[in-house]
A and B are shown apart, each in its own frame.
Chain A
């Protein structure tokens, strides 16, 4: 019952988180910032706007991306298989990339290309994380991971790599080359308008929920540690977002792929000897 409720309100929770983040970022820059419910105002406005349809598949793929992401979040909340969740999430990203390639806009194509490259960079890290959890808990089931004690100490290097891919996933500096708003105007989402853009906008909220739920897995059954991890990471990610400039796409892949794979492999090899 509790799970069903959380699944239903997951996008709204993500929206609140996004609104809070915008306020927090404004405060870090010493200004007032938008109201907390700003994302929901945006959503209401987008309902009332005229929608341009470039081609039917483009619009439908955006909606499918949103729905798949929602299913992924639902499976995490229900405590299903972690590996399965990671690959289902990859499927949702594939829908996004297909949407980017289904229109003729150059910006959309660049965005989809970059999204593809970013996926190549962070997907191994996610899989390694799942393997790490398997070596500690003996199971890929999230319910089993949640029932066991916290695994942040033995998985510390993997935790660091996971921190590194959060900005990639949430499109934040320094790793936001995938939707660089000043150069390629949002990348994949450039051709969306009106109610169809709303699904992309809400999918962004779901990405927040997805990534922070994965982060909480490191805390295991320790709820206090989970909350501390969440708040600490939230502040850290926003601080880094405010304090750094964007790196080039090539550097993003170099940094995330090399550092991530080295740290993750060292962690996994270490685990297998202990």
Chain B
């Protein structure tokens, strides 16, 4: 009989969220969806609705205001889902790295599957990233991946604020108490 998992990667629906980006990466994503690059030939639809999407495309460094929405949107998406960080900002913070109002990339809050670098990353790279994400989507099961905890004090070693390695999983520090 047919295997449902094989069809899972044939119809990825996209949720695009701008976590405080400068719009450079968003324009490139929209270009990838436009007739010239035509992501729809892989079955991609830009739904804009977290409850019906499989791929979470996030751009921009996470700011104080957007991080709660980011986690909220992530938890509203049904499993299986894939998170793609588009642009250097979403991967590492880019030029905004270590500014006081900017977090260092989205992987401090939610688990990221594919990193697409570049400032701004080109539509070709974004398409490559989405296709890579489809392979991951095929293997994902319905199991939940938990978003990380929102607030945790930054640890400073060698005078450099590095929060990524100190990110907590939900429930991890509740157990300690």
Which residues of chain A have a CB within 8 Å of any CB of chain B?
Answer: 22, 26, 29-35, 38, 41-42, 44-45, 47-52, 181-182, 185-186, 190-194, 197
Whether the Cβ atoms of A34 and B49 lie closer than 8 Å is no
Residues from chain B with Cβ under 8 Å of A51 in the complex: 78
Judged by a CB distance under 8 angstroms, whether B54 is at the interface is yes
Check B51–A191 contact: CB distance below 8 A: yes
Bound: A31/B79 CA distance, A: 31
Q: Which of B5, B10, B41, B51 has the most CB of A within 10 A?
A: B51
Q: In the complex, which residues 7-65 of chain B have their Cβ closer than 8 Å to any Cβ of chain A?
A: 7-8, 10-11, 13, 35-36, 38, 40-43, 47-49, 51-52, 54
For residue B80, CB closer than 8 A to chain A, the reply is yes
Question: CB < 8 Å: which of B36, B43, B76, B80 contacts A34?
Answer: B43
- Please state if A31 and B38 are interface contacts (CB–CB under 8 Å): yes
Q: How far is the CA of A186 from the CA of B52 in the complex (A)?
A: 11
Given A47-B4, A48-B8, A190-B51, A31-B43 contact (CB < 8 Å):
no
Pick from A22, A45, A186: contact of B10, CB under 8 Å: A45
Could you tell me the dominant secondary structure of chain A's interface residues?
loop
Do B43 and A42 have beta carbons less than 8 Å apart?
A: yes
For the complex of A and B, 9 pairs with smallest distance between CB atoms: A44-B7, A50-B78, A193-B51, A41-B10, A31-B38, A42-B11, A41-B11, A31-B35, A32-B41
Task: For A105, give the chain B residue with the smallest CB separation.
Answer: B51
Q: How far is the CB of B140 from chain A (nearest CB, A)?
A: 10
What residues of B have a CB within 8 angstroms of the CB of A29 in the complex? 35
Shortest beta-carbon distance from A250 to chain B in Å = 24
The dominant DSSP class at the B interface is loop
Given A41-B7, A191-B51: A49 and B41 interface contact (C-beta under 8 Å): no
Whether B142 sits at the interface, judged by CB under 8 Å, is yes
20 more CB-based (< 8 A) A-B contacts, given A29-B35, A48-B80: A26-B40, A31-B40, A33-B41, A34-B42, A35-B43, A38-B10, A41-B7, A41-B11, A41-B43, A42-B43, A44-B7, A45-B54, A48-B142, A50-B78, A52-B51, A52-B76, A193-B51, A193-B52, A193-B78, A194-B78
Interface residues on B, range: 20 to 34
Cβ B10 vs Cβ A30 within 8 A: no
Residues of B near any A CB (own CB < 8 A): 2, 4-5, 7-8, 10-11, 13, 35-36, 38, 40-43, 47-49, 51-52, 54, 76, 78-80, 142
In the complex formed, the residue of A with least CB distance to B6 is A44
Contact A31–B80 (Cβ < 8 Å): no
A45 B7 Cβ-Cβ under 8 A: yes
Known: A31-B35, A32-B38. A182 touches B43 (CB 8 A): no
Which chain A residues border B80 with CB–CB below 8 Å? 48-50
Residues of chain B within 8 A (CB-CB) of A197 are 51-52
Cβ–Cβ < 8 Å partners of B76 in chain A: 52
Candidates A35, A38, A41, A185; contact of B49 at CB < 8 Å: A185
| Complex interface: chain A residues within 8 A of B51 (CB) | 52, 190-193, 197
B38's nearest neighbour on chain A, judged by CB, is A31
Residue of B nearest to A44 (CB): B7
A11 to chain B, nearest CB (A): 17
